């Protein structure tokens, strides 16, 4: 989400770090000026920037654990921004009113009203962030972890405010507050840069086909299926997910009827498999509606993402290509024996441009080879010119369902 252009979370994170840096930069100037008017001005600026930084941190708690760019409607986004601006104006106004300096240790420093404002602001933002944490508790485990870490940052800042007040509130003790602000923000920065939120959770599909899969896709390979309609790609994908692995050495494997195989008391050959950590885990990116895919191909638990500009829980705006890349890479890193089906390359090109889509495909391919996993891309060759097709096919396996020899190369047991 943070690597997505125009990401709300990215803007809030940038605002938070900028405002905190701005506030800290003006604090030493308070002790260096020779007039109370200049000291008051620097106090007002510093306190206002501190309040805006806390406000940005609060809104980041509300946004970051969720895929805000997908689930929020345009109206909700506008209302969110309007509420941020209104509260920001109020914070600045209050900062200007209470921001006053006083002589302290031979220099000017924050007076009681200024310090009280900062402590009150931190104390108010903490319970609000805790409420946001409780809301995030209803979502996935990675989301809970992200919101808790950001909320913990506010607790640390508040704790160092208490230490600062208890130590005498003088300029020489402000070092406590510098550490109390910078240290947790460094933790938040690490969290945001490493993107700890899992965008798609890998799940196993029920083994509804007792036989071994008729198809074998090699690990670390990208397969380009050239077809006008993605029928073969979905049939291939569904077969791999719902069957035993093509190289299963236990011919006594059975079709497990439980979606949670670990809850089953019967001996399961998949649990003792020496070849893979688990059966195939899949992800579908498609222009077809998820309900249609699940109905036609009996896919139940596998994540299905719909390429659509309409906001929704399982929808992804095709213009947000970097978010799609993050989603695929994140899934490949988290999954075991993973396979990703991407259908709708033509639609991605219309919403972006061919060079951007080609760079994204290269990134997907690198991730497939690094993990290792499998990637199946269904595309209509008539939608591209010969040069574009050549770029897409380069260093990848090409499968044409209308050519028998092409299909036989991915069969687990080629016909003789």
Question: pLDDT tens for residues 6-53?
Answer: 467 777 878 888 888 888 888 888 888 888 989 899 999 999 998 898
Residue 326 located in a structural domain: yes
Task: Please tell me the predicted confidence (pLDDT) of residue 365.
Answer: 92
Task: Please tell me the predicted confidence (pLDDT) of residue 112.
Answer: 83
Closest among 46, 42, 173, 164 to 105, alpha carbons compared: 173
Task: Please tell me the predicted confidence (pLDDT) of residue 124.
Answer: 81
Mean pLDDT highest for which of 132-141, 180-189, 245-254, 303-312? 303-312
Q: What percent of the chain has pLDDT over 70?
A: 76
Beta-bridge partners for 314: none
CA–CA dist 284, 202 (Å, integer)? 11
Answer yes or no: do 179 and 246 share one domain: no
Residue 299 located in a structural domain: yes
Domain range spanning residue 354? Answer: 221-408
Closest among 279, 276, 272, 281 to 334, alpha carbons compared: 281
Answer yes or no: do 173 and 279 share one domain: no
CA–CA dist 6, 47 (Å, integer)? 28
Helix axes 112-136, 36-63, angle to 10 degrees: 10
Closest among 340, 110, 366 to 223, alpha carbons compared: 340
CA–CA dist 90, 82 (Å, integer)? 12
Contact predicate 339/278, CB 8 Å: no
Residue 24 CA: distances (Å) to CA of 42, 97, 151: 11, 19, 21
Mean pLDDT of the chain: 79
Residue 369 located in a structural domain: yes
Residue that terminates a domain, selected from 194, 210, 234 = 194
Using only the alpha carbons of the chain, give its radius of gyration: 28
Answer yes or no: do 69 and 161 share one domain: yes
Q: What is the mean pLDDT of residues 224-252?
A: 84
Answer yes or no: do 149 and 265 share one domain: no
CA–CA dist 52, 58 (Å, integer)? 10
Answer yes or no: do 169 and 257 share one domain: no
Count of domains for the chain:
2
Residue 92 located in a structural domain: yes
Q: Answer whether residue 65 shows pLDDT above 60.
A: no
Residue 203 located in a structural domain: no
Residues 6 or more apart whose CB falls under 8 angstroms from that of 41 comprise none
Tell me which of 74 and 320 has the higher pLDDT: 320
Task: Please tell me the predicted confidence (pLDDT) of residue 268.
Answer: 62
Mean pLDDT highest for which of 63-77, 112-126, 293-307, 321-335? 293-307
Answer yes or no: do 161 and 289 share one domain: no
Q: H/E element holding 120?
A: helix 112-136
Q: What is the mean pLDDT of residues 384-392?
A: 93
Q: Answer whether residue 71 shows pLDDT above 50.
A: no
Q: Answer whether residue 211 shows pLDDT above 90.
A: no
What does the pLDDT look like over 74-113, one tens digit per residue?
676 777 788 889 999 999 999 899 888 888 777 888 888 8
Residue 13 located in a structural domain: yes
What token pair was written down for 56? 């940005």
Q: What percent of the chain has pLDDT over 90?
A: 23
Answer yes or no: do 293 and 229 share one domain: yes
Residue that terminates a domain, selected from 194, 211, 245 = 194
Residue 192 CA: distances (Å) to CA of 187, 264, 334: 9, 39, 18
Residue 213 located in a structural domain: no
Contact predicate 8/198, CB 8 Å: no
Residue 214 located in a structural domain: no
Task: Please tell me the predicted confidence (pLDDT) of residue 58.
Answer: 79
Task: Give the domain CATH number at 251.
Answer: 3.40.50
Helix axes 74-98, 112-136, angle to 10 degrees: 160
Answer yes or no: do 29 and 159 share one domain: yes
CA–CA dist 114, 43 (Å, integer)? 8
Q: What is the mean pLDDT of residues 335-345?
A: 90
Q: Answer whether residue 276 shows pLDDT above 60.
A: yes
Answer yes or no: do 189 and 231 share one domain: no
Residue that terminates a domain, selected from 179, 194, 209 = 194
Answer yes or no: do 181 and 235 share one domain: no
Answer yes or no: do 176 and 242 share one domain: no
Contact predicate 308/317, CB 8 Å: yes
Q: What is the mean pLDDT of residues 279-299?
A: 90
Answer yes or no: do 33 and 170 share one domain: yes
Closest among 152, 212, 164, 224 to 188, alpha carbons compared: 152
């Amino acid at each position: 989400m943070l690597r997505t252009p125009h990401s709300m979370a990215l803007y809030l994170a940038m605002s938070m770090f900028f405002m905190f840096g701005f506030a800290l930069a003006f604090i030493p100037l308070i002790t260096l000026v020779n007039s109370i008017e200049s000291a008051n001005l620097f106090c007002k600026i510093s306190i206002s920037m501190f309040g805006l930084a806390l406000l940005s941190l609060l809104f980041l708690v509300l946004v970051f654990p969720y895929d805000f760019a997908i689930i929020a409607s345009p109206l909700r986004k506008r209302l969110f921004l309007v509420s941020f601006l209104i509260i920001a104006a109020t914070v600045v106004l209050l900062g200007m009113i209470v921001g006053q300096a006083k002589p302290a240790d031979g220099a000017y420093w924050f007076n009681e009203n200024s310090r009280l404002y900062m402590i009150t602001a931190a104390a108010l933002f903490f319970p609000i962030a805790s409420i946001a944490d409780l809301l995030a508790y209803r979502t996935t485990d990675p989301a809970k972890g992200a919101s808790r870490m950001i909320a913990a940052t506010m607790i640390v800042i508040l704790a160092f405010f208490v230490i600062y007040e208890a130590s005498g509130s003088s300029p020489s003790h402000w070092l406590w507050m510098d550490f109390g602000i910078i240290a947790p923000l460094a933790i938040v920065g690490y969290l945001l840069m490493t993107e700890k939120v899992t965008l798609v959770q890998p799940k196993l599909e029920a083994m509804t086909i007792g036989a071994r899969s008729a198809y074998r896709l090699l690990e670390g390979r990208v397969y380009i299926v050239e077809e006008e309609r993605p029928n073969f790609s979905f049939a291939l994908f569904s077969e791999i997910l719902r069957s035993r692995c093509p190289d299963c050495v236990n011919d006594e494997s059975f079709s497990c009827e439980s979606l949670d195989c670990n809850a089953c008391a019967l001996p399961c050959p998949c649990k003792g498999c020496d070849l893979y950590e688990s059966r195939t885990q899949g992800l579908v990116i498609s222009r077809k509606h998820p309900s249609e895919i699940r109905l036609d191909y009996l896919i139940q638990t596998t994540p299905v993402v719909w390429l659509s500009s309409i906001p929704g829980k399982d929808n992804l705006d095709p213009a947000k290509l970097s978010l799609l890349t993050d989603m695929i890479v994140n899934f490949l890193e988290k999954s075991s024996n993973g396979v990703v089906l991407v259908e709708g390359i033509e639609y991605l090109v219309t919403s972006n441009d061919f060079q951007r889509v080609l760079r994204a495909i290269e990134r997907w391919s690198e991730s497939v080879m690094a993990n290792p996993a499998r990637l199946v891309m269904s595309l209509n060759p008539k939608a591209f010119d010969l040069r574009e097709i050549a770029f897409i096919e380069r260093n990848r396996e090409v499968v044409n369902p209308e050519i028998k020899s092409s299909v036989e190369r991915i069969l687990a047991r080629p016909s003789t």
